[in-house]
Homo-oligomer: A and B are copies of this chain.
Amino acid sequence: MSSVPRGRPAGPTGSVIGRALRLLDAFGPERRELTLTEIARRAGVPLSTAHRLLDDLGKWGAVERGEDGLYRIGLRLWELATRSSHALRLRQLAMPAMERVQARIREHTQLAILEQDEALFLERLSGPGSGSNVTRIAGRLPLHASSSGLVLLAFGDHDLQERILESKLVRITPETITDAAVLRRKLAEVRRLGHAVAPGYIESVATGVAVRVRDETGAVIAALSVVLPRDATVDLALVELHGAAREIERALGFRG
């Protein structure tokens, strides 16, 4: 995801809690183990402050310090979030249907939700033969440039749509929609069909295909997608995805 610009706002600097939590932002996929010095430097706080804050975070389990002196993110965070989050209950409910799609289509099968104006991927199932794919679990993609994002945007609220349409639509490949009028027409099409096809929008070699998933109130809460080779036909994938989405919707209590 590193090639895609991110827009996360900086955390608060005022409170001691904010400062402590910002230390956690030093960690990432390529930075799973960090020294005290690295954490302090990345967060821009003195070494002694970082040490004290990490100590407090560690007592609860947010970070762990190994015998090698390196700090790591504590599994306590994952455990708490996984057990308590609504979104991850959705992921759990969706897994049987996702496994079936993956077994039949044999390409990356993904579940995404809207999170801070981006598509956040809760799950990705891949087989040995699955092709190229920039997505990863807990990774994000821009709404305008991914099939999942287009579904979440098309069924999102009016303010979200205007915010995205008025923002700079970053070009990721030559196929990415970067014109607001074109994007507006695409979103109308997605709403009409209940799914989005995104050929080459985020990777020139791949076509994303995503369908909406509705909760018991009929609100679209997720996008279920597969990533096909660019030239593959999308018909079978659409049939499987719509069937799987209906199954997830029934598990969520939707009776539409």
Chain A residues with CB under 8 Å of chain B are: 11-12, 15-18, 20-22, 24-25, 27-29, 31-33, 53, 56-57, 59-60, 62, 72-75, 77-89, 92, 95-96, 99, 102-103, 113, 115, 120, 125-128, 137-139
Contact at B85–A80, with CB atoms within 8 Å?
no
B residues in contact with A120, CB < 8 Å: 75, 79
- The smallest C-beta distance from A10 to any residue of chain B, in angstroms, reads 10
Contact at A60–B127, with CB atoms within 8 Å?
no
Residue of B nearest to A17 (CB): B56
Task: Take A12-B60, A18-B59, A60-B11 as given contacts and tell me if A78 and B85 are in contact as well, using a CB distance cutoff of 8 Å.
Answer: yes
| Interface class of chain A by DSSP | helix
Contact at B77–A80, with CB atoms within 8 Å?
yes
Task: Take A18-B59, A27-B80 as given contacts and tell me if A32 and B85 are in contact as well, using a CB distance cutoff of 8 Å.
Answer: yes
- The smallest C-beta distance from A160 to any residue of chain B, in angstroms, reads 14
For this chain, the copies found in one complex come to 2
B residues in contact with A139, CB < 8 Å: 83
Contact at A32–B89, with CB atoms within 8 Å?
yes
Contact at B75–A115, with CB atoms within 8 Å?
yes
| Cα–Cα, bound, A120→B75 (Å) | 9
Contact at B78–A81, with CB atoms within 8 Å?
yes
Contact at B28–A84, with CB atoms within 8 Å?
yes
Contact at A29–B81, with CB atoms within 8 Å?
no
| Cα–Cα, bound, A85→B88 (Å) | 17
